[in-house]
Amino acid sequence: MLAAVTGLVTGAGVALFEWITRDQLVDHLRDAPVGVQIAGPSLGLLLAALILRHLGGGGPATADEYIKNFHDEGKRLPIRPVPARLLASIATLGLGGALGYEGPSIYLGSAVGSALQHRLSRLFSRQDAKMLLVCGAAAGVAAIFKAPATGLVFALEVPYQEDFARRMLLPAGIAAATSYVTFVALVGTAPLFTVSGAPPFNLRDLGGAAILGVCCGIGARVFTQAMQRTKAIAAESSPIPRALCAGAGLAVLGLVSWLAFDRVLTFGAGYDNLAWALQPRRAIALVLLLLILRALATLLTLGGGGVGGLFIPLVVEGALLGRVVGGLFGTSSVSFFPLVGVSAFLGAGYRVPLAGVMFVAEATGRPGFIVPGVIASMVAQLFMGKSSASPYQEGARAGHLERRFALPLRAVLVTDVATVPPDTTIDEFVRHHLLGNRRQVVPVLEGSDYLGVMRIDEAIAVDRDLWPVATVGKHMRHDFPTVSPDAELRDALVAMERADVDLIPVIDHGAFVGVITTDEVLRLDEILGRTEGDERT
């Protein structure tokens, strides 16, 4: 029931957002003179920067906030920045920024679900702490694209690169369906893209889909890396100057588009680019030019602090790249390669291959694109490496021990540990530490300063007759791995694995703090695992 409520509120909210942004702003701006269209994105970026700066919106992230909060255990999605970010997204997108509507829609739905679950937290177990967050994200995508299955699959796929969010399928499905019904009851059921007839394809086209998958995988990898680099540069610059500089760049791109196409195709989310690409007799050189212009427009909008989604920019790039490849293959179907390219580029860029395929099938109302879309999407994944449109995605759900990797070292730090001074003889070391206390590795200290470690291996390498006179300081290991107390547990475990040791000293600017041992790490996992089991019981 709460998932249905989340879907209902999200569907209505997304419908209102789209009505304001698209119907009241973008559509009217498209009827304005060309100069106004060219200048619109610059004004949108400036307004967005001012809104975020003075209304407490923080950064421009939207869909990334959903993925980030999904992995933040014990933290709910902050609600305070939501109004400012939504207003900034209306300014960015309503005045022609080259980003998608789905980012704010996902963010709105996630905020609705997170707030509702926070109010009724007593009804949810600890394992279901993010349930309505996922439901809201699914509802946001389902509404804005009129694609409930896409919303469901995307919300479950996008937190991980090679996994799914578990225990969320049923409620997220209910939220997506409810949101879809609410949205289409207000705006209608017309599909997002109009494609006539069934997509005809043969073995040559399926082979072309595989080749297109290679191109989309490489293209999506380059594009997503450029987006991450752009975000990093933007984060280090002042909001107003970066908005003005990016706005100037967008104005130049708009002018180039008007000169090349007699239309400002770099303006807005890019749905008109899809319609343009699906028209027959388009010159491949012009399609390639538009692909480059749209990519630059997206990067500039991101770099200027614009608030919006990356889903549709990936869709547009995939469609244009598919049109280029389709022109080289000389296929009889103008729509086949562009729409297969959408599946592959979107699936690779956001690491959501199933959602990419489902999106094309639902948005066009043509399930015949599924088979070639699956081929292209899976091939594209092979060329993505670890790249993604979101830096907050994780590879897969972590195991019970792996979830402890982000813990600080103090969680397993052993400070009450035996040490030896450097003038200790090997004989004393063997009798007191190896035989008496059964310790095979002992830190060597002079006062509080760390010098190295003495192990059983170094002791037995010394001639037995020399044990009474040979000292630990002369035979200890100086190259033993150490770790800083500011490091995370994963850093210590990686260093221990590389050196093939079960103990690592913790050193703070030369001073000995303690040690980390694999026994303590495993013991921590046992304690925390037992605690979680008690909470579930």
Outline where DSSP puts E strands in 439-499. Answer: 441-446, 449-455
- Please report, for residues 84, 113, 216, the alpha-carbon distance to residue 118 in angstroms, rounded to integers and kept in the order given: 21, 9, 40
Domain ranges, ordered by start, for the chain: 2-381, 402-536
Q: What pLDDT does residue 531 have?
A: 44
Task: Tell me what pLDDT residue 91 has.
Answer: 95
pTM: 0.77
Structure confidence at residue 397 (pLDDT):
66
| Torsion angles phi and psi, residue 219, rounded to 5 | -65, -45
Q: Tell me, what's the pLDDT at 404?
A: 64
d(CA 453, CA 409): 20
Per-residue pLDDT tens digits of the chain, which is 537 residues long: 999 999 999 999 999 999 999 999 999 998 899 999 999 999 999 999 999 988 887 888 899 999 999 988 778 899 999 999 999 999 999 999 999 999 999 999 999 999 999 999 888 887 788 999 999 999 999 999 999 999 999 999 999 888 788 788 999 999 999 999 999 999 988 877 766 555 666 677 788 889 999 999 999 999 999 999 998 888 888 889 999 999 999 999 999 999 999 999 998 888 888 888 888 888 889 999 999 999 999 999 999 999 999 999 999 999 999 999 888 776 666 788 888 999 999 999 999 999 999 998 888 877 777 888 889 999 999 998 888 888 888 876 655 555 566 677 777 788 888 888 999 999 988 888 888 777 778 899 998 899 999 988 888 889 988 999 999 999 998 888 898 888 888 788 888 888 878 888 999 888 898 888 877 777 765 545 544 444 444
Whole-number Å distance between alpha carbons of 117 and 105: 18
* Rounded Cα gap, residues 480 and 320, in angstroms: 55
Rg (CA), the chain: 29
CA angle at residue 15 from 11 to 16, to 5 degrees?
A: 120
Q: What percentage of the chain's residues is helix, strand, coil (to nearest 5)?
A: 65, 5, 30
First to last CA, the chain: 24
Query: What homologous superfamily does CATH list for 2-381?
Result: Clc chloride channel (1.10.3080.10)
- Residue 176, token pair as written in the block: 């997506």
285 token code pair: 């050189």
Residue 516 carries which side chain, given as an amino acid letter? I
The residue assigned the tokens 């009851």 is 185
Q: What one-character DSSP code corresponds to residue 346?
A: H
Nearest to 66 by CA among 107, 11, 102, 117: 107
Contact call for residues 344 and 379 (beta carbons, < 8 A):
yes
pLDDT computed for residue 218 by the predictor: 95
The 503-508 sheet, strands edge to edge: 441-446, 449-455, 511-517, 503-508
Q: In the numeric block, which tokens belong to residue 460?
A: 């037995």
Tokens of residue 209, six digits: 């889909």
What is the DSSP-derived secondary structure letter of residue 455?
E
pLDDT score of 298: 95
Which residues have CB under 8 Å from 351's CB, separation 6+? 157, 158, 160, 161, 162, 381, 384, 388, 389, 393
- Dist CA 247 CA 350 (whole Å): 26
Question: Measured between alpha carbons, how far is 212 from 376 in angstroms, rounded to an integer?
Answer: 6
CATH class of the region 402-536: alpha beta
pLDDT in the model for residue 403:
59
In our burial notation (b when 16+ CB lie closer than 10 A, e otherwise), range 408-445 reads ebeebbeeebebbeeebbbbebbeebbeeeebebbbbb
